[in-house]
Structures are given as structure tokens and as C-alpha cells.
């Protein structure tokens, strides 16, 4: 009998959300660090990278969550797809010990290139409670961070 891997729960949650919006995912690449899909909707096609972190960073304040994502192994491939004109999305599943409190951030190709142009291959993404956007640290504190809409999924797939 096959056993589930931890990654199956995080990737499966994203796939469930996509399928519920009539998005057709086709698996391109699968490993423990990421999954890559071609997504087709009635309006667009996307190349989607899905990465996850199981737990948020330990921070002293309760109203602030933060996760680290390593893009070193994805850098060349993401950049190549963007240069080829693919409509690239980077899904970051930000896990929590209480799974239903996990969050999803989606970066578009312009945001990915801003990160890469800032020489970043490892990112920290965070969100304060009740804030309407995630933030990716770009140096210089939260005021200089790259904002990422927290409702991007609905914007893209509704």
C-alpha cells in the first residue's frame, strides 16, 4: 500500500483549489522540493511552480508570520521560462502547524524578475495579521519590501 508523503498534502491542497476553479493542471515535473505544472483556464495558460514550507519561522510576535523559500535550484529554469515568454507563476504554500491556517502566495513573472534583479535567490515572505498583502524582504525593512497580493488566486482563477 502506498504511503503519503508530506509534500502530497501541500501540493494536493493547491491542486484541489485549482480544480475547483475549472483549471486544468498538467504535471511537468515532480520532486520533493517543487512541482511544475502547465495550467489552462478559459482565459490564459500558465507555467506554475509550486513550492512549500511546512512551518513558519519562529518569531517573537504572534501577529506576524514569516517563511523562507530557497530558489537557487529554480533560478535558471524560472528565468529561462520567463525569457521564452511563458506566463510564469510561483505558488508559495506557507504552511502552519494547524494546516487550515496555511496560506498561499502567488507571484507573477514581473515580481519574480524583481526578486532576481535584486540578486535574491532565497526569499523571506511574511504577512501581518489582517494585512492585505504578503511582503518579500528586498533589503531596507518592511517599507522597502515587495508587496504580493494575498487574494491573487481569486484574481487569476475566478
State residue 89's pLDDT score: 98
Domain assignment present for residue 75? The answer is yes
Domain assignment present for residue 29? The answer is yes
Structural domains of the chain, count: 1
State residue 80's pLDDT score: 95
Domain assignment present for residue 37? The answer is yes
State residue 60's pLDDT score: 64
Domain assignment present for residue 13? The answer is yes
For residue 91, give the H/E element and its range.
strand 88-94
Domain assignment present for residue 1? The answer is no
Say if residue 114 is exposed, middle or buried (CB neighbours under 10 Å; 0-12, 13-18, 19+). Answer: middle
Q: Give ∠ CA 91-134-140 in degrees, rounded to 5.
A: 120
CATH of the domain at 127: 3.40.1350.10
- pLDDT (tens digit, 0 to 9) for every residue of the chain, 158 residues total? 688 888 889 999 999 999 999 999 999 999 878 999 999 998 899 999 999 998 777 766 668 889 999 999 999 999 999 999 999 999 999 998 888 889 999 999 999 999 999 999 999 999 988 888 999 999 877 778 999 999 999 999 98
Say if residue 144 is exposed, middle or buried (CB neighbours under 10 Å; 0-12, 13-18, 19+). Answer: exposed
Domain assignment present for residue 117? The answer is yes
Structural domain containing residue 79: 6-157
| Three-state DSSP state, 81 | helix
Q: Measured between alpha carbons, how far is residue 76 from residues 82, 103, 112 in Å?
A: 10, 26, 12
State residue 93's pLDDT score: 96
Amino acid at each position: 500500500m502506498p504511503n503519503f508523503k508530506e509534500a502530497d498534502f501541500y501540493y494536493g491542497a493547491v491542486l484541489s483549489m485549482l480544480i475547483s476553479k475549472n483549471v486544468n493542471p498538467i504535471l511537468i515535473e515532480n520532486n520533493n522540493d517543487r512541482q511544475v505544472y502547465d495550467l489552462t483556464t478559459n482565459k490564459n495558460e500558465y507555467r506554475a511552480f509550486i513550492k512549500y514550507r511546512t512551518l513558519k519561522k519562529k518569531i517573537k510576535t504572534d501577529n506576524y508570520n514569516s517563511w523562507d523559500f530557497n530558489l537557487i535550484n529554480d533560478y535558471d529554469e524560472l528565468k529561462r521560462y520567463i525569457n521564452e515568454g511563458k506566463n510564469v507563476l510561483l505558488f508559495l504554500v506557507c504552511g502552519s502547524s494547524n494546516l487550515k491556517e496555511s496560506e498561499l502566495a502567488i507571484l507573477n513573472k514581473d515580481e519574480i524578475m524583481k526578486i532576481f534583479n535584486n540578486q535574491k535567490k532565497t526569499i523571506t515572505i511574511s504577512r501581518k495579521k489582517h494585512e492585505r498583502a504578503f511582503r518579500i524582504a528586498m533589503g531596507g525593512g518592511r517599507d522597502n519590501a515587495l508587496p504580493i497580493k494575498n487574494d491573487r488566486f481569486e484574481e487569476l482563477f475566478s
